[in-house]
Structure 1
Amino acid sequence: MNNILVTGSNGQLGSELRDLAPKHPNYNFIFTDIEELDICNHTAVANFIKGNHINTIINCAAYTAVDKAEEKVEIAENINHLAVANFAQLAKEHHIKLIHISTDYVFDGTNHKPYVESDVPNPQSVYGKTKLAGEQAMQTINPANSIIIRTSWVYSRFGNNFVKTMLSLGKERDTLNVVADQIGTPTNAADLAQAIVTIMPKIENTIVELFHYSNEGICSWFDFAQAIFEIEGIAIKVNPIESSQYPTPAKRPFYSVLNKKSIKEKYLLEIPYWKVAIVKCLKLL
């Protein structure tokens, strides 16, 4: 039996993996969050892995409060960097497969074409810097049969996210201002979860491999909001604004589209277009 530890299982991606689990009876998914396992505690994680005979880790845990991270630096560092180093060390010692989820925020957003895995990172926020440090720690320790997947603009029917915020505001307001000069690609966590389960048995490498995954296509946050309201038939006027009109503590990348060629070719994945993916999510909501 493949005993799979899923961390951060109450988050969007973890929740989608939990929803998929019954469809894969040959896998024994063990879902944990902070209540069940403190991933910053090396001894606790080591004992959990040994006690549950874990042979695969899917690390969905992250400190994703991008603006709060500017002040909560130590918490972000512990979860996004040191805990990943911990997992990588244990994966190497116990020959465990490790799938770690990272972010488009490792880039500065100054590109004019989709980022490939070999592009030089230059994070502009504490969140991005700590996530990159986690990637680098994992690559340095280099456990075999392990991969990093960077993703972007994640949403889901579970948890709090942009889609749910727009639906809520759409019921309360007649007009809404949404940033139009940040370009990327929304990612339905359900599609990412399915991709992870699909590629998991195929992972076989001696050096940590890095991949990009999001849904297909590109849009701005303004486009994304417009699509949500159009699909749901919500009558609201959406005004495009510049990022400078909506200042935030953490700097966002202006362009963070990810090139998915590598993961598609290696694992023969077909990735849904972002508008198709959002329709699927909204139906479930």
Structure 2
Amino acid sequence: MTRTYSLAYLSSHRCTPAEAIGVAAKTGYSFVGLRLWPNAAGAPQQHLLGQPAALRETLAAQADTGVGVFDLEIIRIGEQFDPHTWDALYDAGAALKAKAILVAGDDTNEARLTDHYARLCEVMKPFGMTADLEFMPWTAVKDANAALRIVQGAGSPANAGILVDALHVGRSTTTLEDIRALPRELLHYAQICDAQAGLNFTTEQMVHTARCERLLPGDGTIDVQGLFDALPADLPVSVEVVNFGREANTSVLNWAAECLAKSRPFVER
């Protein structure tokens, strides 16, 4: 089955939003993912919020190419949480017709995190996007079971979602049975990459791999094939491969094309 592919932010982090859309159009992707809000204060991002000219340029690129915006990054739910902090992100998502916002959970008080997630879903409801909670082993949502517990504890809102990233499956206690047990209605897309699998990495090592040194599918030891066999066959795929060393020797265009070419054999069947 052919898939819908999105060029993730980390695969095109050298691009502005409009440039990423152009690269996606030239290399076979139907969508892009954009990081319009950094994952930490001062961390890398694509600048569009509060910049009307950048938004107009991005909308024009969409109109010219037909490439859509799939997901936006990132909302982090900490101990202190006000969902209206991200009002500008919701507005941009609505303008770009984005489908999802990626959410990370950092609050180790699971009851409070669950309440805040439910509130986020409520606030996002008018904007037409899902709130996709990504489990990551160094966060408070460490595996697929934790993500499911939080979403169900929040009442499984209609715009709730769980994001499955191959890297975090390979480095958490998540099993393929856990993936198969995720309700289909909570799955909106999945992220593909590879790395060395295992449970003995430090937080610093896991974060470094995630943000700087992922591998192309097939170049590591994560069971990428098993994962995508366990996921729904029609699930859109976000190709998320960042590798600063490899990228230094190739153009963004060639990197995006190689990432897609290496991903296809694992998800098309």
The alignment's TM-score, normalised by the length of structure 2, stands at: 0.37
Which structure has the larger Rg?
A: 1
